[in-house]
Structures are given as structure tokens and as C-alpha cells.
């Protein structure tokens, strides 16, 4: 029983951490959309907009969980998660700075909901994969972590700026989830069991190492033109 409870708590922490790392741009959208409102209306815009964003993510997450049961979707999902990990390491947030402030609470909620629906695929895909099909974990992870991101976004941004290794650790975690998701694809699992059992056994470590090594190489390539 204790082992089961520990596993559930670790999963909740994993989902919350992924959501926090991948929701910095969403928190920025909320702040930008509401910045033109009076203080009283701004609070309502943040609360209602955040609630709409959470509901949309829940709907998307359950849709993704259903899709993961289809053939080869886990394989495609794993590839997408690797791409998300690399995007996390190279994130610049330029697109979110172009959002104009809303003139009313309703306008702010509409901007937040639309932007979150467009930008939340990475969050939803990573959370659905980490939850391993558990609807309860998806709901709890989103309900707990989204308010934390919204109301603690300034502190989180400072932490991630001063301690960049936290971003790299999050990217490695997404790499682990991506690898585990891919080896759970029945066709690939059968092939690995017959031809490369060690790859299946150490998939999590391989996924983390791949993200860190590839991310490091990409970072080096981006720095070279600046040094010249």
C-alpha cells in the first residue's frame, strides 16, 4: 500500500513539474492579456481565464489519452515529446510578447482561452503520457499545477532563470517519458524484445541521455555564430 501511494505521489510530482515547465508561456499570455484592465477586473480576468484554460486542457488531455490507444500513436507521441523537450531547451517566447492587452474581462478570457487552446498541445501530450492513462492523475496534476503556474509565474521565471539546470532536468524527464511511451507501442515492443531487449530495459536512461546530448549539441551550434 505504501509503495502504491509513493508511486502515485511521484507521478503527481512528475505531472506537476512538467506542467510548470511547459506553462511559462501560458502564464505570460494571461499576464499580457489582462495587463490593460483595472486591478479589480484584472483579478477576475486572471481567475476566469485560468479556469477556462484548465477546462480546455482537461478536455484535450482525455482526447489524447483516447488517441494513445490507437496503433502507432504512442510511437508518434514519443517523437512529438522529444521535439517538445528540444523546444523547451530553446524556448524564446517571442510569439507571446505580440499579444495585445484586452479591453474587458470577457475579452481577456477569450484571448486566454484561445491562446491556451493553441499553445497547450505540448502540456497535454506530456501530461497524458506521464499519467499513463489515469484520468484521476491527469485531473489532479492539472488542477494542482495550473494555479501554481498562474499565481507564481514571476517566482518560477526567476527560479528557472537563475537555475537553468531545472529546465534541463525537466527536458530530460520529458525524454524519459517519450522513450517509455515509444517502447510501450506493441509493434515496437515486440521487435525490441526479439532483437534489442537491452534497449527496452534501459529506454528511460537512453531517452534522457538523447535529449541532454542532442540539446547540448544544439546549444553549442547556436552559440558559435554569436562568438564569430
Say if residues 54 and 187 touch (Cβ distance below 8 Å).
no
116's CB contacts (< 8 A; 6+ apart) are: 26, 29, 52, 53, 56, 57
User: Whole domain around residue 208: which residue ranges?
Assistant: 2-227
pLDDT the model gives residue 54: 73
What is the Cα–Cα distance from 212 to 1, expressed in whole angstroms?
A: 35
What is the Cα–Cα distance from 22 to 15, expressed in whole angstroms?
A: 11
pLDDT the model gives residue 208: 93
Full pLDDT tens readout for the chain, 228 residues: 566 778 777 877 777 777 777 666 666 666 667 767 787 777 787 777 777 777 777 787 778 777 877 888 888 888 888 887 887 776 543 344 445 556 677 777 777 666 666 566 667 777 778 877 777 887 777 776 666 666 655 566 567 667 778 778 878 888 888 898 899 888 898 999 888 899 888 999 999 999 999 888 877 776 665 554
pLDDT the model gives residue 210: 94
What is the Cα–Cα distance from 75 to 148, expressed in whole angstroms?
A: 31
pLDDT the model gives residue 209: 94
CA atoms within 13 A on the CB side of 55: 10
What is the Cα–Cα distance from 112 to 99, expressed in whole angstroms?
A: 10
* Domains contained in the chain, number: 1
Say if residues 34 and 45 touch (Cβ distance below 8 Å).
yes
Amino acid at each position: 500500500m505504501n509503495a502504491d501511494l509513493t508511486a502515485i505521489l511521484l507521478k503527481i510530482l512528475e505531472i506537476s513539474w512538467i506542467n510548470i515547465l511547459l506553462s511559462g508561456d501560458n502564464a505570460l499570455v494571461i499576464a499580457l492579456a489582462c495587463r490593460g484592465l483595472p486591478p479589480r477586473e484584472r483579478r477576475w480576468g486572471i481567475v476566469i481565464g485560468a479556469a477556462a484554460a484548465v477546462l480546455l486542457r482537461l478536455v484535450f488531455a482525455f482526447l489524447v489519452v483516447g488517441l494513445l490507444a490507437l496503433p502507432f500513436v504512442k510511437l508518434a507521441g514519443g517523437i512529438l515529446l522529444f521535439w517538445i523537450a528540444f523546444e523547451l531547451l530553446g524556448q524564446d517566447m517571442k510569439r507571446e510578447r505580440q499579444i495585445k492587452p484586452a479591453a474587458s474581462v470577457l475579452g481577456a478570457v477569450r484571448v486566454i482561452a484561445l491562446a491556451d487552446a493553441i499553445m497547450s498541445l505540448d502540456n497535454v501530450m506530456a501530461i497524458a503520457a506521464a499519467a499513463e492513462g489515469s484520468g484521476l492523475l491527469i485531473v489532479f496534476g492539472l488542477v494542482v499545477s495550473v494555479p501554481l503556474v498562474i499565481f507564481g509565474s514571476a517566482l518560477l521565471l526567476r527560479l528557472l532563470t537563475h537555475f537553468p539546470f531545472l529546465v534541463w532536468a525537466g527536458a530530460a524527464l520529458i525524454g524519459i517519458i517519450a522513450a517509455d511511451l515509444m517502447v510501450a507501442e506493441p509493434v515496437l515492443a515486440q521487435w525490441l524484445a526479439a532483437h534489442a531487449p537491452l534497449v527496452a530495459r534501459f529506454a528511460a536512461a537512453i531517452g534522457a541521455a538523447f535529449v541532454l546530448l542532442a540539446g547540448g549539441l544544439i546549444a553549442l551550434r547556436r552559440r558559435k555564430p554569436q562568438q564569430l
